[in-house]
Amino acid sequence: MDHIAPMRQIGGLWFNMSTVLMTTVACLIVFLICFIGTRKLAMRPSGLQNFLEWLIDFVRGIIKANMGWKVGGQFIALAFTLLFYVFVANMLGLPFEIYNKDSHEVWWKSPTSDPALTLTMAALVIIMTHYYGIKIRGFGEYIKDYVRPVPFLLPFKIIEEFANTLTLGMRLFGNVYAKEILMVLLVGLGTSGAIGLFGGFLPTMVWQAFGMFIGTLQAYIFAMLAMVYMAHKVEHH
């Protein structure tokens, strides 16, 4: 439990190199799957293309559940990327964890177990909702939402924007971080000896399966809430 993050200073700023590495790995996996799956498109999809088309249909359903397709259709790439990337990032820490035995620095883990990443993603989502709200509805109509139905709600609606950012990012971080902490404890139990191996094997397998469920659910929730917040900004209410 004394594992630490590999922090490095670059240009006067500190970076968690594990998060940088695993974010890059997750991006590459998403890119390669999409590239390979769409390299030879067929009228009768099969294999990876079939999976990607199913995922796009699933994302289309998320968008239609929150806003009209005429407006929401332009966000399908955003929702697809969020759902797929967060899912892959959540899964990376499940099979194993790589750390330096001497320095105890963890290099291979889920990048979404770092609050800096999840809060940054959440902030970018919220910023994009404001941008598209102004772009689609105009600044005047957009700003009126802060004083509807009564002007005294203005400070509460401003607080709500910060609360949405915080909860969107911390919900993802908290669930993934808790999943990985318990996984480390179970693996530690399994490597403590013969009795620990016997007692820790079954709980580890069960938690692996439950971890997949948590990772999938949190990816869905993140993409869904991103579209909910987007709908609140781009559509008239």
| SS3 of residue 4 by DSSP | strand
144 touches 154 (CB < 8 A): no
Residue 45 sits in which domain range? 7-234
Q: Which residues pair with 20 in a beta bridge?
A: none
Residue 45 lies in a domain: yes
Provide CB contacts within 8 A for 229, sequence distance 6+: 125, 126, 129, 164, 168
Provide CB contacts within 8 A for 173, sequence distance 6+: 112, 113, 114, 115, 117, 118, 119
Residue 2 lies in a domain: no
Tokens 């088309």 sit at which residue?
A: 53
Residue 185 lies in a domain: yes
Residue 1 lies in a domain: no
| SS3 of residue 10 by DSSP | strand
Average pLDDT on 53-77 reads 94
- Of residues 208 and 103, the one with the higher pLDDT is 208
pLDDT at residue 81, as a whole number: 96
Residue 26 lies in a domain: yes
CB atoms within 10 A of CB 22: 24
Going by the DSSP 8-state scheme, the letter that residue 114 receives in this structure is S
CB atoms within 10 A of CB 162: 11
CB atoms within 10 A of CB 120: 12
pLDDT at residue 16, as a whole number: 86
Lowest mean pLDDT among 22-26, 29-33, 36-40, 158-162: 36-40
- For the entire predicted model, the pTM comes to 0.88
CB atoms within 10 A of CB 17: 15
Per-chain mean pLDDT for the chain: 86
7-10/98-99 β-pairing? unpaired
Average pLDDT on 118-134 reads 96
In the predicted structure, residue 60 carries a pLDDT above the cut 90: yes
CB atoms within 10 A of CB 19: 22
Q: What percent of the chain has pLDDT over 90?
A: 54
Residue 135 lies in a domain: yes
- Of residues 109 and 229, the one with the higher pLDDT is 229
Dihedral sign, Cα of residue 155, residue 157, residue 160, residue 165: negative
Indicate the pLDDT class of residue 195, thresholds 50, 70 and 90.
low
> How many domains are contained in the chain?
1
Residue 75 lies in a domain: yes
Tokens 């709908």 sit at which residue?
A: 231
Indicate the pLDDT class of residue 122, thresholds 50, 70 and 90.
very high
pLDDT at residue 221, as a whole number: 97
Residue 100 lies in a domain: yes
